[in-house]
A and B are shown apart, each in its own frame.
Chain A
Amino acid sequence: MSPDQDVIDPLKNDSVEHDSAASDSRETKDGEPKRAARPTRHAMIMRGIVTPIFGLLAVASVVLGVLNATMWKPSSQITATSTITGARYIVTDPGVLPLLDQKVTLTVDPASSATQVCVALGSAKDVAGWVASETSYQRITGLSSWSTLATQRGKSTTQTAATNDDDAVAFKDSDMWSQVKCGKSNVTLTSAKTNDSTMAIIDLGKGGGSRGADVSMRWVRSQVPDFAMPFYLSGGLLAVVAVLCASVFAMPPHKRRKRMVEGKATIHTDLSFAERAEQGLIGAKLPESVPARKRHRHAAHRRGAKLADEVQEAPVESPVIVDPAARNLVADQQAAAEYSGTAADVLGTSTAPASESVIDDLDMAQSDTATETASSAPDDEATSVITNDELQAYFARLAQEVQHEHESTDGQQADEEEGNR
Chain B
Amino acid sequence: MSKRWNSLKKLSVAATAIVALVLPLGACEGQLPTVTTSTSSKATPDLTEAQEKKIRTKILKTLDEADEARSADGYKAVMGGPQLEIRTSQVTIAQKSGSMNKYATIPKDIAQVVIPTDDGWPRSVFTITTTTDDQQSQRLLVLDQNSARENYKLVAMARLFDGVSMPKFEVPTSGSQMGTAKDEGLVTTPTEALTQYADVLQNGSNSKYASTFTDDMLRQRIATLTSTVQEGIARNNGTQEQTFTAVPDQMWIMRTADGGDLVVGRIDSVWTRQAGDGRESQPASDDEKILYNSDQYTSTMKVTYVNVVALYIPQAGDDAQITAVGADRQPVKVEAL
Contact = CB atoms under 8 A, between A and B. Distances in A.
A225 interface: yes
Contacts of A99: 33, 35
Nearest to A177: B51
Contact of B36 (A60, A95, A169, A174): A95
B37 interface: yes
A168 interface: yes
Given A53-B15, A142-B35, A167-B150, A42 B4 contact: yes
A84 to B, nearest CB: 17
B interface majority secondary structure:
loop
Interface residues of B, number: 41
Contacts of A216: none
A234 B21 contact: yes
A375 interface: no
Contact of A129 (B3, B14, B36, B148): B148
A74 B30 contact: yes
Interface string B22-42: 100111111111111110000
A40 to B, nearest CB: 11
Nearest to A124: B44
A45 B77 CA distance: 91
A173 B58 CA distance: 11
A112 B34 CA distance: 32
Given A93-B37, A146-B29, A175 B145 contact: yes
Interface string B137-152: 0000000011111111
Contacts of B33: 99-100, 142-143
B295 interface: no
A366 interface: no
Contacts of B120: 129
B25 to A, nearest CB: 6
Most A C-beta atoms less than 10 A away, residue of B33, B58, B146, B152: B33
Interface string A70-113: 01101100100000000000000111100110000000000000
B264 to A, nearest CB: 20
B31 to A, nearest CB: 8
B8 to A, nearest CB: 8
Contacts of B36: 95
Contact of B35 (A42, A68, A95, A174): A95
A363 interface: no
B37 A167 contact: no
Max chain A CB contacts within 10 Å: which of B4, B30, B48, B149? B149
B46 interface: yes
Nearest to B51: A178
Contacts of B100: none
A25 to B, nearest CB: 14
A196 to B, nearest CB: 5
A57 interface: yes
B150 A168 contact: yes
Contacts of A145: 32
Contact of B3 (A68, A168, A253): A253
Contact of B148 (A53, A57, A61, A176): A176
A197 interface: yes
Interface string A135-153: 0000001110110000000
28 contacts: A42-B4, A54-B14, A60-B22, A64-B22, A72-B27, A74-B29, A74-B30, A75-B29, A78-B29, A93-B35, A93-B37, A123-B46, A125-B46, A126-B46, A129-B119, A129-B121, A142-B34, A146-B29, A160-B147, A163-B149, A163-B150, A169-B149, A169-B151, A178-B51, A225-B30, A225-B31, A227-B28, A241-B14
Interface of A: 42, 45-46, 50, 53-54, 57, 60-61, 64, 68, 71-72, 74-75, 78, 93-96, 99-100, 123, 125-126, 129-130, 132-133, 141-143, 145-146, 160, 162-163, 167-169, 173-176, 178, 196-197, 224-225, 227, 234, 238, 241, 249, 253
A-B pairs with lowest CB-CB distance, top 6: A129-B148, A225-B30, A72-B27, A95-B35, A163-B149, A142-B35
Given A167-B147, A196-B38, 18 more contacts: A42-B4, A61-B22, A71-B27, A72-B26, A100-B33, A126-B46, A129-B148, A133-B148, A141-B35, A143-B32, A160-B148, A163-B149, A167-B149, A168-B150, A176-B148, A196-B37, A197-B38, A238-B18
